[in-house]
Every structure is written in C-alpha cells, then in structure tokens.
Amino acid sequence: MADIRALFWDVGGVLLSNAWDHGERQRAAEKFGIDWNDFRERHELLVAPLEEGRMGLDDYLDRVIFSQPRSFTKEEFKQYIFSLSEAKPETLELARQLAGCSGCVMATINNESRELNEYRIERFALQEFCSHFVSSCFTHLRKPDPAIYRLALNLTQRKPEESCFIDDRALNLEEAARVGMHTIHFRDVEQLRRELCELGVEVAPLASTHTSKEERWS
C-alpha cells in the first residue's frame, strides 16, 4: 500500500465547475450573441498566454471579444464569466475532511487565468484546506507539461511515489504518472473516496451535513 503524504487536486471539473472551458465559452457566445467561429479561433490563439499569466483577462477580452463594438460592456461580460463558477459541494467537503484527518499536504495543480484563479480561491475558500496553489498563471507552466508536476513536488517537498494527483482528464493524469505520481481519474466523489482508501489515505465517513454544505455555496 502506498504511503501518500501529498494530495494534488485539479480545480475545474473536480473541486469546482470548469471556469472558462469549451462549454462555458459556448454559453457565453449564445448569451451575448457572439460569432462562435471567430470567438473560438481568437481564443485558441491567446489561451496559452492567458493561462500562463503572460496576459491579463482585460487584454484577452480586448482581443477576443471586444475587437469590434459590442452592445454590452467588458465589465458585464467579466461578471458573467465569474458567475459561471459553481462549487462541487461533495468534493469540497471531502477535501476539507482530508485536510483535517489525513496528514497529507493539500495543494492544487490547475490551468487557469490569474483573475479567475484568484476569484475562485477566494470565493470558495480553497485556501482553508490547500497550502499550495500550483496554478499555471503563477508558474507559467500548463498541464500536461511534466515540469508543472515536478514543480509541485519541489514546492511541497514530497516524492512522486508519496503523492497522488486527482484530475478529470486522462492526458493530465498520464503525464503526472510519467513523473512517478499516483493518479486518480475523477468521475464522482464516491469513486474518489474508494480509490483514495485503496491507496491507504484515511477517509472519514460521509458527513451527514451535506445539505448545509451545499447551501454554503448557493
């Protein structure tokens, strides 16, 4: 059985909803009447500097959305982007339990723009149970680049074999495994609990206060 001393969490798709992924961009295009093909092409050209912290959200929006006159303001569009973020209450509650009882370092490894990342950390109080945020906007590295996993291990001073990375995307997990980390392909919270237990991570029984935890993020 593995001796797991660090748990690394993806954010969008595991702890929270996706922030600005394909689905969220499509919803924005429909709501604001934006030509999807133009939006998609411009985003693909600029997503790397955005998520790697080399371009701010305002500059990104100037080039991707506001390259032509719009009937809405940049602030309205930004607020809509932020409003798309939702909690995954069961996973957040499990992460909080693990922070309190597992003895593991808790950290995130995620790809996200600085503005969205900081908003989501604060909005959903991720700093209450994570001590490190290995985010692309801070590290200038993006998953699945193996360098971001090595950096996460260096920052937490944990060995690959005593670490586990949890993500909902197979490619991200494949590259983490190549570095030597244990991995869990997240599908739902019960499957996650089961696989953590198989790795020897101490997982408390499911809390009976689930409804109140959901209300915290409403």
Domain chopping of the chain, boundaries: 6-17+87-216, 22-83
| For range 159-188, the mean pLDDT | 98
| For range 46-71, the mean pLDDT | 98
The reported pTM is 0.92
Write down the mean pLDDT value for the chain. Answer: 94
State residue 204's pLDDT score.
76
Most confident of 158-162, 199-203, 210-214: 158-162
| For range 168-196, the mean pLDDT | 97
6-17+87-216 CATH choice from 3.40.50.300, 3.30.565.10, 1.10.3720.10, 3.40.50.1000: 3.40.50.1000
State residue 202's pLDDT score.
86
Residue with tokens 């693990």: 98
CATH architecture, domain 22-83: Orthogonal Bundle (1.10)
Is pLDDT at 103 greater than 50 in this prediction?
Answer: yes
* Closest CA relative to residue 8, chosen from 141, 113, 99, 120: 99
Is pLDDT at 176 greater than 90 in this prediction?
Answer: yes
Q: What is the dihedral of CA 25, 71, 114, 91, to 10 degrees?
A: -50
State residue 210's pLDDT score.
46
